[in-house]
């Protein structure tokens, strides 16, 4: 049966760990100039209904590095954008391609694409989840905090959005303590929080100090995600103070790292000073998207 990469909750800890191990291995091979081409002759189709820099470029470059090729399919240019059903798009593209990646709004649309496609489907971000990012994030955390993340404290500050949802699952599965600080009404998905409370050391609070206390990793994301542009002004008001700045860092462990999935809005969720002081890990994290996506592709297509 074909395998998809849609949600981290459908991956066991062993599968997730194996993916991160493979990403680390592919990264080392690339650094040593010893890459092989396991995906020769394979084609990845990438459907984008939202903007992207990192996801698009790293999947495309990654596919080339693995010996295959990638097609950028903007929904503005394919018939999907003119109302062709996702079920038909899935069945047609499955006849031409070996793998599909999609970035869209509704998680349900990705699920329908995967249900009708006979080839593996990768979730390249929905309003609900961003699992690809979290594979790169966990690789970065391992690089800075050691391979065993058990007992390390992860703190996310800001909007309870797609990133928060996926980070809760990925970090808790990895044995980390997870702390979320966000304003009332902007919490992560209720089902994920329920699962988190039942399956790990989890706290969601409005209090940044409480969430960041002793944290090994501080993480944030934009206050207004793609598709929420109309709410940006109201969100700037609601999220005031939910920022990674010098004060937030003072609550965390002395050797805490700061991560951000990017793009960053300096002066909103993070200060320019913290961004620059932690540029090393933040841009390692961005680089790790490449290695993580290659691992996802190899694991689905090998």
Question: For 10, which DSSP code?
Answer: G
132 contacts 289 by C-beta, under 8 angstroms:
yes
Which of positions 18-77 make contact with ligand NVA (CB under 6 A)? none
Active-site annotation holder among 132, 133, 204, 291: 133
Which residue from 161, 220, 243, 288 is in contact with ligand NVA, where contact means CB under 6 A? 161
Q: Active site includes 221?
A: yes
Residue 82 burial (10 A CB sphere; 0-12, 13-18, 19+): exposed
Site for ligand CP contains 53 (CB under 6 A): yes
Q: Is 289 an active-site residue?
A: yes
For 251, list phi and psi in degrees, rounded to 5: -80, -25
Q: Is 243 a catalytic residue?
A: no
Six token digits for residue 296? 């996802």
Judged on CB neighbours under 10 Å (0-12, 13-18, 19+), 126 is buried
With CB under 5 to 8 Å by kind, the binding choice for 93 among ligand CP, ligand NVA, none is none
CA 243 to chain CA mean position, Å: 20
Q: Which residues contact 113 (CB under 8 A, 6 or more apart)?
A: 47, 86, 89, 90, 100, 102, 121
> Catalytic site residue 103?
yes
Closer CB to ligand NVA, 80 or 261, in the complex: 261
Residue 110 binds ligand CP (CB under 6 A): no
Least spacing, CB of residue 119 vs ligand NVA, in Å:
25
Q: Give yes or no for residue 222 binding ligand NVA (CB under 6 A).
A: yes
Taking CB under 6 A as the rule, does residue 65 contact ligand CP?
no
Minimum CB distance to ligand NVA smaller for 76 or for 246? 76
Q: Measuring CA to CA, how many Å separate 263 from each of 53, 154, 232, 249, 259? A: 9, 20, 15, 20, 12
The answer to whether residue 168 forms part of the interface with ligand NVA (CB under 6 A) is no
Q: Check if 278 is active-site.
A: no
Alpha-carbon gap, residue 298 to 223, rounded angstroms: 34
Peptide bond into 263 cis (omega under 30): yes
Those residues whose C-beta lies under 8 Å from the C-beta of residue 238, and which sit 6 or more positions away, are 183, 185, 186, 223
By rule CB under 6 A, what string of x and - marks binding of each residue 122-141 to ligand CP?
Answer: ---x-------x--------
Residue number, 116 or 138, with CB nearest to ligand CP: 138
**Interaction of residue 165 with ligand CP, rule CB under 6 A:** no
Shortest distance, position 134 Cβ to ligand CP, whole Å: 11
Q: Which does 53 bind (CB under 5 to 8 A by kind): ligand NVA, ligand CP, none?
A: ligand CP
Identify which range of 53-61, 166-174, 185-193, 291-299 contacts ligand CP by CB under 6 A.
53-61
> Is 234:195 a contact under the CB 8 Å cutoff?
no
Stretch that binds ligand CP, among 46-54, 94-102, 189-197, 212-220 (CB under 6 A): 46-54
Neighbouring CB atoms inside 10 A of 190's CB total: 9
Q: Which of 56, 130, 142, 235 is catalytic?
A: 130
262 lies in the site for ligand CP, by CB under 6 A: yes
Catalytic residue among 54, 103, 278, 293: 103
Residues that bind ligand CP (CB under 6 A): 52-55, 125, 133, 261-262
Catalytic residues, which ones? 103, 130, 133, 221, 261, 289
Residues that bind ligand NVA (CB under 6 A): 125, 161-163, 221-222, 225-226, 261
């Amino acid at each position: 049966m074909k395998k998809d990469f849609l949600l981290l909750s459908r991956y066991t800890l062993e599968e997730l760990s194996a993916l991160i191990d493979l990403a680390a291995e592919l990264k080392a091979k690339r650094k040593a100039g010893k890459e092989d081409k396991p995906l020769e002759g394979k084609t990845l189709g990438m459907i984008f209904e939202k903007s992207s820099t990192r996801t698009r470029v790293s999947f495309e470059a990654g596919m080339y590095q693995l010996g295959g090729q990638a097609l950028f399919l903007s929904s503005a240019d394919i018939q999907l954008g003119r109302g062709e059903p996702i079920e038909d798009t899935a069945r047609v593209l499955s006849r031409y391609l070996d793998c599909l990646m999609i970035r869209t709004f509704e998680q349900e649309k990705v699920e329908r694409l995967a249900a009708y496609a006979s080839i593996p489907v990768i979730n390249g971000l929905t309003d609900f989840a961003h699992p690809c990012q979290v594979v790169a994030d966990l690789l970065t955390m391992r690089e800075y905090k050691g391979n065993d993340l058990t007992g390390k404290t992860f703190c996310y500050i800001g909007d309870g959005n797609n990133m928060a949802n996926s980070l809760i699952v990925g970090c808790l599965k990895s044995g980390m303590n997870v702390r979320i600080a966000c304003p009332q009404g902007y919490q992560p998905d209720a089902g994920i929080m329920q699962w988190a409370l039942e399956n790990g050391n989890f706290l969601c609070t409005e209090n940044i100090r409480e969430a960041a206390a002793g944290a090994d990793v501080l993480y944030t994301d934009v206050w207004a995600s793609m598709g929420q542009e109309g709410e940006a002004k109201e969100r700037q008001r609601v999220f005031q103070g939910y920022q990674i700045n010098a004060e937030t860092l003072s609550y965390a462990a002395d050797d805490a790292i700061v991560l951000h999935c990017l793009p960053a809005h300096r002066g909103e969720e993070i200060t320019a000073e913290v961004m620059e002081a932690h540029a090393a890990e933040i841009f390692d994290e961005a680089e790790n998207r490449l290695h993580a996506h290659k691992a996802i592709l190899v694991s689905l297509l090998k």
